[in-house]
Amino acid sequence: MATCELCGNDYDKAFELILDGQSHVFDSFECAIQAIAPRCEHCGCRIIGHGLEKGGVFYCCAHCAQQEGVTELHDRA
Ligand SMILES: [Zn+2]
Ligand SMILES: [Zn+2]
């Protein structure tokens, strides 16, 4: 039995994620995404795919990166 650290739900199928050596426990992927997925700097959406990163700032796609003036990032299709 573990307790989701985001919503506090006690759930027997909760799972653990290790991020930067720290353990996080969630009852669902939705809670995990809410808690730890980075946000696109431009549009604010949660990045749950690969995304793009430049200087510690995340973007969901090359288009958003370009809107923020980052021109060297391209989607890796
Ligand atoms: Zn939860
Ligand atoms: Zn975006």
Question: Nearest-5° angle of CA 70, CA 72, CA 75?
Answer: 100
- E strand or H helix at 15: strand 15-19
**What's the gap in Å between 32 CA and the centre of ligand 2?**
19
CB 58 within 8 A of CB 49: no
Q: Binning pLDDT at 50, 70 and 90, where does residue 50 land?
A: confident
Residues surrounding ion ligand 1 at CB below 5 Å: 4, 6-7, 9, 27, 31
Counting ligands in written order, which one lies closest to the CA of residue 9? 1
pTM given for the model? 0.73
Give me 26's structure tokens: 């969630």
Distance CA 35, CA 27 (A): 12
DSSP letter (8 states) at residue 54: E
pLDDT at 60 over 80: yes
**What's the gap in Å between 39 CA and the centre of ligand 2?**
8
